[in-house]
Amino acid sequence: MMFQRHRRLRSSESMRALVRETYLHKEDLIYPIFFVEGEKVKKEVASMPGVFQLSLDYLEEEMRSIVELGIRSVIVFGVPDHKDEEGTSAFEQNGIVQRAIQRIKAGFPELTVIADTCLCQYTTHGHCGVVRGNEIANDESLALLAKTAVSQAEAGADIIAPSNMMDGFVIAIRTALDEAGFAHIPIMSYAVKYSSSFYGPFRDAAHGAPQFGDRKTYQMDPANRLEALREAESDIAEGADFLIVKPALSYLDIIRELKDRYPLPLVAYNVSGEYSMMKAASQNGWIDEKGAVMEALTGMKRAGADLIITYHAKDVARWLSE
């Protein structure tokens, strides 16, 4: 009786390493950081163990630890002390994100700094655009998002990452950047962002929960696949340089399909709820944290992700050094 002896290639660690198809590297990791106003603030996010809101006096210490771990890219989120209906602190020259970017680039120029470009944590209503009545005013929001992107580029951001899911946000930001002299700054578009149940802990960290309704009129229905292709195609046509799929673990099929169709670098966002579930399970002894996290992130790479935004980045970088 003839049958295939697949186990021959699994017989030892060295043999398994010899034929391993997918690898996770430190260069694949993008670490999210939350900066807040004030001094001597290092507050752990209750729903995200190991993740902190930091005031700028902790910036140098945090960045040094990131560089020493071999992480090369960060994405910056800001928690302002002032909010209004139009999120004007998002594009203030002296805003929290703008100051954080300036300091990072001054002290750690080797880091790639990505600026999250949205309005939700800067508005009193917590939505990602301008609210008129109970509606999110798409076209009116674009002007504010473009203004925010330009202010972040002026501060020194290497990449602009708009996460608002307004129609036309890529072309609006691309046009504004080009006109302001930033034609060289790429856009990492949150092209495929689902209205997910896995965002809760992030909203604790960024203080960006909507104060009424939800975001289902602008974020995507989790049941939809073809819509993801339409969103990606329109962002590519408008000038996107990277595509993000958010969340990651429930959307590995979308990551694979986009990778097979489009030649742009593809980013998986391993979101806060996915992170917190891993942390909670490991703290309760239900899973091996290192094994489960590495398996999940390797799965994102195998699905087609080139880069991964993940709150696990510092732990993963340590594990990869072992």
- Active-site amino acid positions: 193, 246
- Angle at CA of residue 99, ends 88 and 38, nearest 5°: 85
**Cα separation, 185 vs 239, whole angstroms:** 11
Tell whether the torsion through CA atoms of 236, 241, 243 and 244 is positive or negative.
negative
Q: How many CB atoms lie within 10 A of CB 11?
A: 9
Q: Is 271 left (phi over 0), alpha (psi -120 to 50) or beta?
A: beta
| Strand 266-270 versus strand 307-310 pairing type | parallel
**Cα separation, 19 vs 129, whole angstroms:** 48
CA distances from 117 to 13, 32, 76, 147, 315 (A): 44, 13, 9, 10, 26
| Strand 29-36 versus strand 307-310 pairing type | parallel
Helix extents (H) in 132-251: 138-155, 169-179, 200-206, 226-238
**Cα separation, 319 vs 322, whole angstroms:** 5
**Cα separation, 110 vs 131, whole angstroms:** 39
